[in-house]
């Protein structure tokens, strides 16, 4: 099994820790100190080093990106920066996919537009691909261009990438229904907090038991537009109830 998770460093950076899961010889690309690192560590998977690609010039990335895109039939609407990004993905993953000796299954977790070369690349190496998207990226306001034509192209490209996988698991029923309109069967995999986080908040709940609430606490990521809109709507509603005070906390600004 080969798991591709959120990877932000360029191919020039040092090798990332991977994982060796015994008979399955699992290889995992992880962002340092990321939740996937904790998950696989708890599964008893021992880290091993993955050989990182050597330094390359931009021309090399453009060439790798173009060659890959023509082979995958995934060229329309690609800007030069996106072609280069696809070239970086090829440089980062191709060798690992080719050398991996375990089960040829790739878990595709980071489905951002910059990483949509991954399922096509994996299929070229004979892998089955399972997608676990955080969002439908083209529908995230901060991720898609303002111009509706380009936004539409991004969505079509994202659907094309999902059609290249074998299974899709979404974190919401709404995304599952939405993808069904475009002929994509998916499964609902609801989000459950890690045991450590759940235990912490259950402890807070037990300490608050019997207290009379006087204020409401609003938690959210205000830097993410849909969450910000929901927080703003909730604040407008609460402003109509003078007996309730509230405190808003989270990332970004409301």
For residue 203, is it within any domain? Answer: no
In this prediction, residue 11 carries a pLDDT of 37
Q: Which of 48-52, 158-162, 196-200, 218-222 has the lowest mean pLDDT?
A: 48-52
Q: Which domain holds residue 40?
A: 2-188
- One domain, residues 142 and 238: no
**Per-residue pLDDT tens for 89-114?**
888 888 878 877 777 888 888 888 77
- One domain, residues 177 and 212: no
- One domain, residues 46 and 106: yes
**Per-residue pLDDT tens for 212-226?**
877 888 888 887 777
- One domain, residues 229 and 149: no
- One domain, residues 120 and 177: yes
What's the domain count of the chain? 2
Determine contact, residues 219/242, Cβ cutoff 8 Å: no
The CA-to-CA distance between both ends of the chain, in Å, stands at 42
For residue 113, is it within any domain? Answer: yes
pTM reported for the whole predicted model: 0.70
For residue 154, is it within any domain? Answer: yes
How far apart CA 169 and CA 57 sit, in angstroms, is 36
pLDDT at 185 over 90: yes
- One domain, residues 8 and 109: yes
In this prediction, residue 160 carries a pLDDT of 87
């Amino acid at each position: 099994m080969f798991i591709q998770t959120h990877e932000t460093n360029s191919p020039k950076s040092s090798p990332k820790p991977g994982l060796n899961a015994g008979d399955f010889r699992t290889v995992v690309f992880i962002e340092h100190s990321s939740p996937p690192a904790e998950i696989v560590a708890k599964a008893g998977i021992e880290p091993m080093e993955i050989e990182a690609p050597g330094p390359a010039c931009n021309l090399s990335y453009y060439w790798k990106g173009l060659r890959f895109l023509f082979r995958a039939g995934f060229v329309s609407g690609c800007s030069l920066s996106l072609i280069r990004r696809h070239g970086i993905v090829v440089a980062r993953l191709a060798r690992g996919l080719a050398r991996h000796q375990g089960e040829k299954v790739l878990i595709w977790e980071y489905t951002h537009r910059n990483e949509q070369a991954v399922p096509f690349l994996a299929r070229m190496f004979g892998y089955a691909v399972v997608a676990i998207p955080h969002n439908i990226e083209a529908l995230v306001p901060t991720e898609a261009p303002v111009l509706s034509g380009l936004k539409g192209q991004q969505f079509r490209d994202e659907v094309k990438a999902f059609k290249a996988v074998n299974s899709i698991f979404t974190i919401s029923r709404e995304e599952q229904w939405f993808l069904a309109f475009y002929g994509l069967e998916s499964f609902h995999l609801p989000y459950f907090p890690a045991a450590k986080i759940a235990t912490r908040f259950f402890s807070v709940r037990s300490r608050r038991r019997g207290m009379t609430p006087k204020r409401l606490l609003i938690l959210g990521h205000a830097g993410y537009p849909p969450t910000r809109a929901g927080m703003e709507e909730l604040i407008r509603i609460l402003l109509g109830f003078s007996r309730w005070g509230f405190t808003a906390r989270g990332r970004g600004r409301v």
